[in-house]
Amino acid sequence: MAADTMKNCEIARHRLPAITWPGSKEVNMLETDLYKPVYDYLVHQGYSVHSEVKNCDITAIKGEELIVVELKTSFNLKLLAQGAKRQRIADSVYVAIPAPKGGKRSAGWRDMYLLLRRLELGLILVTPGEENPGVEIAFHPNTFDRLKSANSGKKHRNHIIREVEARYANYNVGGSSKRKLMTAYRENSVFVACCFLKYGPLSPAQLKKLGTGVKTPSILSKNFYGWFEKISKGIYSLNPQAEEFLQGYPELVSHYMEKLDQQPADIF
């Protein structure tokens, strides 16, 4: 593959100085500012390099190998679209952008890394400027291993399925942010609260007999929502704060109260 040729070049020896980015200082630049460092790098690797050939920002040819590099001052959808189109004609396609301001460990960097890997595009990070220009091959274009990716996400997939299965109903609005969400844990806490409403003070063992689940002791001891009070050794009750919250979810409260009504009278 064409990317193998790039990989086999002595990148560490010939790479221009490592990228640096001023902390919070805004740097105004044009795509043309990215061109010279990338051009010099490819020429140094033995490629015949030309610019603006049939809408390609940079083309690099060595023998039968054709590499295309698209330049952008920021990571955006247009850059991805251009990269995908160039894959129709080139052996390997790289996108070249300035180094991310948040660094390679930021959430934005990880998202960009994942997307480019999935699209099988390579990434070049550029330090433009006259005094200390440089480029760094962050990664080369490689075939994306969908099976490996799926296997790595199995744990998270199972967490999602268990969360869905543990919820009684859908009380959240998709796309919401900065608002309290109804999670399986919160629903479980509501169930515990309903038990107190019906039976009064109870122990964790008694609550579990009512079906509140294995997380009951943790829900009571951590008291994440501040709903519960320990009134004596091993005995808990409900406080007014919980009763106020429960008024906002009458359907959920009704569901759990009906469930409790089905319990035998001598359950304890």
Domain holding 236: CATH number? 1.10.10
pLDDT tier, 62 (very low <50, low <70, confident <90, very high otherwise) = very high
Q: Each residue of 75-131: pLDDT tens digit?
A: 899 999 999 999 999 999 999 998 766 566 677 888 888 999 999 999 999 886 666
Which of 143, 171, 202 corresponds to the end of one domain?
Answer: 143
| Residue 175, domain member (yes or no) | no
% of the chain at pLDDT higher than 90: 56
Same domain, yes or no, for 218 and 113? no
Same domain, yes or no, for 210 and 131? no
Tokens of 156: 């998270």
| Residue 173, domain member (yes or no) | no
Same domain, yes or no, for 21 and 110? yes
Q: CB-based burial of residue 181 (10 Å sphere; 0-12 exposed, 13-18 middle, 19+ buried)?
A: exposed
| Residue 161, domain member (yes or no) | no
Whichever domain contains 119, its CATH number is: 3.40.1350
Q: Each residue of 205-243: pLDDT tens digit?
A: 999 999 999 999 999 999 999 999 999 999 999 998 888
User: What pLDDT shows up at residue 103?
Assistant: 61
Which strands sit side by side in the sheet containing 48-53, from one edge to the other?
Answer: 48-53, 56-62, 65-71, 92-98, 122-127, 134-139
Detail the DSSP E strand segments found in 160-241.
228-232, 235-238
- DSSP for 152-173 reads HTHHHHHHHHHHHHT-SS----
Which of 143, 168, 198 corresponds to the end of one domain?
Answer: 143
| Residue 154, domain member (yes or no) | no
Same domain, yes or no, for 102 and 201? no
Total domains in the fold of the chain:
2
- How much is the pTM? 0.68
Q: By C-alpha distance, which of 122, 256, 107 is closest to 187? A: 256
The Cα–Cα gap between 75 and 138 comes to: 14
Q: By C-alpha distance, which of 41, 68, 64 is closest to 53? A: 68
User: What pLDDT shows up at residue 5?
Assistant: 55
Which of 143, 176, 201 corresponds to the end of one domain?
Answer: 143
The boundaries of the domain holding residue 244 are: 184-259
pLDDT tier, 16 (very low <50, low <70, confident <90, very high otherwise) = very low
Tell me if 57 sits within 8 A of 18, measured CB to CB: no
| Residue 197, domain member (yes or no) | yes
User: What pLDDT shows up at residue 6?
Assistant: 59
Q: Which one has a higher pLDDT value, 182 or 218? A: 218
| Residue 170, domain member (yes or no) | no
